[in-house]
Amino acid sequence: MGLKASHETACSIPPQTRLSVHPSSAPKVKRTSRSSCILLCTGYAAHFLAEAPPQCGDGSLTRWDGAHERRHDDALSLATNKRSSAVPEVLRPSVMTMTLNAVEYGLDYNDQGHHREHFDRIERREMLAMAYRLAGGTLLNQAYGSGERHRYDLFSAADKEAPLVVYIHGGYWQRGDRKDYSFVARELNANGITVAIPSYTLCPAVSVMEIGDEIQRCLAVLWDRVRKRPTVVGHSAGGHLAAEMMVRDWSGFPGVPADLVRTAYAINGIFDLAPLIGTSLNKVLGLTAGTARAASPLFRPPSPKGCRFVAAVGAEASEEVLNQGRRIAANWSEVGIDARCEVVIGANHFTIIDELITPGSSVLKQIVKIAHEANAIHAPL
């Protein structure tokens, strides 16, 4: 039986149905091995992305489509109202898709409007994330604090001695959720790496610095659980938080090493937050000159002993984002840290995430390499 036929048998969904339109169209995938579950859903992704653009209830397009470009001004509330409480949490549409066009941002720091393919990619990634969460063999919704979003998912590799990578999602500190990024764990698990993915409270409910406090608490909880120094990986705002974890003071966490995070890989990160003050992003972030400086790891390099940092930037990202990666690599290198900026050819701010799910990609190979090396060097205390 061919892939398409196999998929339709497993999911019982007519080919013309688009997964992201409504929860009722989510694939009914049996809990089976991760590889077969991903295979089925990847085949469906390839099919549904070729269909007509998804539409909201009033007929307006949820993404750009040539001359028929329209924006839904209240996509979030519309989609939220359509949610069914009977649908399992893992199958509900993500907030990330719903809010794509909610706010106009400064183009240098949020250029999603320049990339029409971004909308299709998000749908595909959401489905891959959903499939990987459904496949079993994971510890989901693990608490690291008392807040509603103080949760992480743990995707364990087969080897109990596997390195630990903590992946921090982006979304300019104001959107996104760990459930949307479960797909990141697939190839890392296949390469013998355990992956933890946390959620965190979003701005404006908390400040950027308070988000850093939450991630720090999560890493301390993970240390108590697995006794592994993490390699922290993040994209966009998550890249900022990955660098931030290297400069944090861990003395307030009893039993945690004073230099818990020695290795980080930041993808299209923002390390100097001052330029965001003049953008519409700041309507939610609420940064001032003082708080932006305090939250900028660019100016607070960690102790160089044993530290390794990579700022990976898509060659087609904005010049401002490219400069951010170059600057932190240069600043941190000056104090003796093993820091470098890696430019990823052919990738923009959004497509660079695909490097994490592409076997043999340069980004994936680098993360796998430094995670295994860090695990070998930084044995549990």
**Tokens standing for residue 134:** 């459904």
Cα separation of 353 and 268, whole Å?
Answer: 10
pLDDT the model gives residue 14: 34
Query: In the block, which residue shows the tokens 């921090």?
Result: 168
Asked if the model's pLDDT at residue 185 lies above 80, the reply is yes
Answer CATH for 139-377 from 1.10.3720.10, 3.40.50.1820, 3.40.50.1370, 3.40.50.300: 3.40.50.1820
Asked if the model's pLDDT at residue 381 lies above 80, the reply is no
Location of each CATH 3.40.50.1820 domain in the chain: 139-377
- The SS3 of residue 113 is helix
Side chain identity at 223, as an amino acid letter? W
The C-alpha angle 331, 333, 337, rounded to 5 degrees, equals 120
pLDDT the model gives residue 378: 63
**Tokens standing for residue 280:** 């519409």
- Residue-wise pLDDT for 5-62, tens only, equals 333 333 333 333 333 333 333 333 333 344 434 333 333 333 323 333 333 333 333 2
Asked if the model's pLDDT at residue 100 lies above 70, the reply is no
Distances (CA, A) of 279 to 273, 276, 282: 11, 5, 6
Asked if the model's pLDDT at residue 375 lies above 70, the reply is yes
Helix%, strand%, coil% for the chain, nearest 5: 45, 15, 45
Give the mean model confidence (pLDDT) for residues 279-307: 96
pLDDT the model gives residue 172: 96
pLDDT the model gives residue 307: 97
At residue 134 the predicted structure's pLDDT band, cuts being 50, 70 and 90, is: confident
pLDDT the model gives residue 122: 79
Asked whether 311 and 330 are in contact (CB, 8 A), the reply is: no
Surface-to-core class of residue 186, CB atoms within 10 Å of its CB (0-12 exposed, 13-18 middle, 19+ buried): buried
